[in-house]
């Protein structure tokens, strides 16, 4: 559960949580009455507001889903913007694989035309990497952690 007070982190833009991608498989967000969640749907730079509707939740793709789908489903870039000066509460449930599991691309989604993009990985190692100095510094933490280089051969 998160609470966003009436004054956002950045007063000029009213962005309360800067843009990011969640590292989980999927995250479920329930917004309680007050709007704020915005998602990027394409690469043209525009943001789309996800309205808070009664009895609905938003499901966002996270980084691990990008690994499983071999990059076909991209982790959703999102942010929280609170323009209306209202106190905002949201609840977020992140879906993570069990400890000790390995996350890998589905074999059906790897082909000559669509080569393996990410090495099989330990999801919790990825979480640790995300929060490490190196992870925080990298532009694309998923790629830096388990991305397959162009001429690299990896057994999936």
- Torsions phi, psi of 127, nearest 5? -60, -45
Segment interacting with ligand AKG (CB under 6 A) among 31-39, 99-107, 128-136, 142-150: 31-39
For the bound state, the minimum distance from the C-beta of residue 112 to ligand AKG, rounded and expressed in Å, comes to 36
Token pair 């209202």 is found at 86
Scanning residues 4 to 63, which ones bind Fe ion (CB under 5 A)? Answer: 22
d(CA 134, CA 65) in angstroms, rounded, equals 22
DSSP secondary structure letters along 91-138: EEEEE-PPTT--B---GGG--SSS---B--B-HHHHHHHHHSHHHHH-
For the bound state, the minimum distance from the C-beta of residue 68 to ligand AKG, rounded and expressed in Å, comes to 19
Among 28, 92, 109, 110, binds ligand AKG (CB under 6 A): 92
DSSP H stretches of helix in the chain: 63-68, 123-131, 133-137, 141-146
Residue 36 touches which of Fe ion, ligand AKG, none (Cβ within 5-8 Å per kind): ligand AKG
Residue 123 touches which of ligand AKG, Fe ion, none (Cβ within 5-8 Å per kind): none
In angstroms, the first-to-last Cα distance of the chain is 37
Which lies closer to ligand AKG via its Cβ, residue 26 or residue 90?
A: 90
Report the interface residues with ligand AKG, using CB under 6 A.
2, 17, 22, 29, 31, 36-37, 78, 80, 90, 92
């Amino acid at each position: 559960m998160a609470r966003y007070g009436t004054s956002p982190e950045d007063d000029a833009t009213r962005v309360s949580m800067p843009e990011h991608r969640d590292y989980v498989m999927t995250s479920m967000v329930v917004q309680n009455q007050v709007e704020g969640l915005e998602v990027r749907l394409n690469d043209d730079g525009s943001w789309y507001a996800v309205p808070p509707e009664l009895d609905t939740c938003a499901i966002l793709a996270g980084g691990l889903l990008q690994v499983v789908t071999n990059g076909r489903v991209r982790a959703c870039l999102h942010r929280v913007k609170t323009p209306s000066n209202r106190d905002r509460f949201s609840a977020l449930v992140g879906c993570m694989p069990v400890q000790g599991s390995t996350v890998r691309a589905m074999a059906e989604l790897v082909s000559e035309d669509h080569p393996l993009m990410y090495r099989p990985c330990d999801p919790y190692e990825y979480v640790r990497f995300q929060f490490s100095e190196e992870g925080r510094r990298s532009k694309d933490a998923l790629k830096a952690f388990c991305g397959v280089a162009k001429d690299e051969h990896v057994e999936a």
